[in-house]
Amino acid sequence: MSIVRPADALVVAVAAMLVGAAWASLWGGGGPAEYAQVSAPGASDRRLDLALETTLEVRGRLGPSRLEVRDGRVRFVDSPCVGRLCVHSGWLSRSGQVAACLPNGIVVEVTGGDREFDAISY
Amino acid sequence: MPSATDALGRDDRLIAGFAALAIAIHILEAAFPSPLPGVKPGLANVITVIVLLRYGWYTAAWVAALRVLAGSLLVGTFLSPTFIMSASGAVAALAALWLAQLLAGRWLGALGYSVCAALAHMGTQLLVAWQLFIPHPALLNLAPFLLTAALVFGIVSGVIAAIVLTRLGTEPGTARP
C-alpha cells in the first residue's frame, strides 16, 4: 500500500480549489461600482452615474480639478495640486475604491454594487 | 454465543484503547497555545483515520465520540461553547468520512480521508460559530484563513496516519469491512 493514492491527490486538489474559491469570493474585492460620490469643499456631495460618459470640473481650494467618467470608471484627469497623487491613482472601477486630491479638498469614491473593504475591525 | 461476545469484547477493548490514545493527544494539544483562535493541528484525528482504515467507520465513530466527550471532561470544557464546537466538528468529520468511504471506498487512502474530515470539521465549526455565538457576516471572512489551516493540517495528519498505517501493516482479520 503506497502512502498516497491517486484519489488522495484528487481530493487534495479539489480541497485546494475549494479553499482558493473561498479566498477569491471573500477577499477578491468589491464588484463593479455603479456611481461615484464626489465631495468638494464648500459644496454638497455630488453623485455621478458611471454608466454615462462625462467630464466635469470640480472647484476646490486651489482651483478646478477635472474628472472623467468613461466605461464605468472614473479618474482625475488634472488637478492644481503639486504631487498629482490623485491623477496617479488612475481609474476607479471597483466598489469601495477612493481617490483624493487632499490639497484641493476633493475626494472621489466609487460605490454601489458589492462593496470592498480595506479592513474591518471590531 | 461465545464467539459474538468475544468479538464484542475485542471491539470494546480496541475502542477503549484507541480512544485513550486520542484523548491523550487531544489534551496535549489543548495545552499548546494557538496562533489563531480556532486553529488547532487536530492530531487526534490521526487516530480517527487510522481506526477508520483498519477497523471501519463504526469503530472510528465510537473512538471520536469518546474522545470528544472524555476530552472535554478532562480539559473542563464539557457543555461549554468549546465543547459544542468540538462535538459539531467531530460529527461533521465523521459524516464526511462516512460519505467519502461510501463514494470512494478503497480508492481513497489516509491522506484523502484526513483532508475530507479536516475541511468538514472546520467548515461546520465555522458555520456553528456563526449561527450560535457570533452571528455577524464578517465572521465568514475568516473562512479562507481557517480553511487554509484546515487543509494544511489535514494533509499533515493524513501523511502521519498513512505512515503509521504502513508501519502497522495489515494484520489478518482486521481488514475493514
**Looking at residue B172, what is its pLDDT?**
43
Strand positions, DSSP E, chain A: 35-39, 46-49, 54-59, 64-70, 73-78, 98-101, 106-111
Q: pLDDT band for position B177 (50/70/90)?
A: very low
User: What residues contact residue B119 under an 8 Å CB cut-off, 6+ apart?
Assistant: A15, A18, A19, B96, B147, B150, B151, B154
| Structural domain contains residue B174 | no
When pLDDT is averaged across residues B43-63 and rounded to a whole number, the result is 91
Instruction: Name the 3-class secondary structure at A44.
Output: coil
Which candidate in B54, B148, B176 is best for mutational testing of the A interface (most A CBs within 10 A)?
Answer: B148
Contact A11 B138 (CB under 8 A): no
Q: Alpha helix locations (H) across chain B?
A: 2-31, 44-55, 57-75, 81-104, 110-128, 143-168
| Structural domain contains residue B176 | no
Predicted TM-score (pTM) of this structure: 0.67
Position with higher pLDDT, B165 vs A32: B165
Contact A18 B162 (CB under 8 A): no
Q: Which of B40, B35, B49 is nearest to B160 (CA)?
A: B49
CA distance B163 to A87: 59
| Structural domain contains residue B118 | yes
Position with higher pLDDT, B38 vs A18: A18
Contact B107 A7 (CB under 8 A): yes
| Structural domain contains residue B63 | yes
Interface size A-B, in CB pairs within 8 Å, comes to: 74
| Structural domain contains residue B173 | no
Q: pLDDT band for position B171 (50/70/90)?
A: low
**Range ranked top by mean pLDDT from A77-86, B6-15, B28-37, B132-141:** A77-86
For residue B153, the chain A residue with the least C-alpha distance is A12
Q: Does B119 reach chain A within 8 Å, measured CB to CB?
A: yes
Q: Which of B33, B107, B19 is nearest to B71 (CA)?
A: B19
Contact B112 A18 (CB under 8 A): no
CATH code of the domain containing B42: 1.10.1760.20
User: Does the pLDDT of residue B93 top 90, yes or no?
Assistant: yes
Contact B109 A8 (CB under 8 A): yes
Distance from CA of A28 to the nearest CA of B (A): 11
User: Does the pLDDT of residue B82 top 90, yes or no?
Assistant: no
Q: Which residues of B touch A15 (CB under 8 A)?
A: 115-116, 119, 151, 154
| Structural domain contains residue B177 | no
Instruction: Name the 3-class secondary structure at A63.
Output: coil
* Domain housing B99: 2-168
What is the per-residue DSSP string for B94-126? HHHHHHHHHHHGGG--HHHHHHHHHHHHHHHHH
CA distance B115 to A12: 7
User: Does the pLDDT of residue B63 top 80, yes or no?
Assistant: yes
Q: What DSSP state is assigned to residue B92? A: H
The tally of domains found in chain B comes to 1
**Looking at residue A115, what is its pLDDT?**
62
User: What residues contact residue B98 under an 8 Å CB cut-off, 6+ apart?
Assistant: B57
pLDDT along chain A (122 residues), means of 10: 78 89 74 83 84 88 90 89 88 83 88 66 66
Name residue, grid cell 459544542.
Answer: B84
CA distance A39 to B12: 73
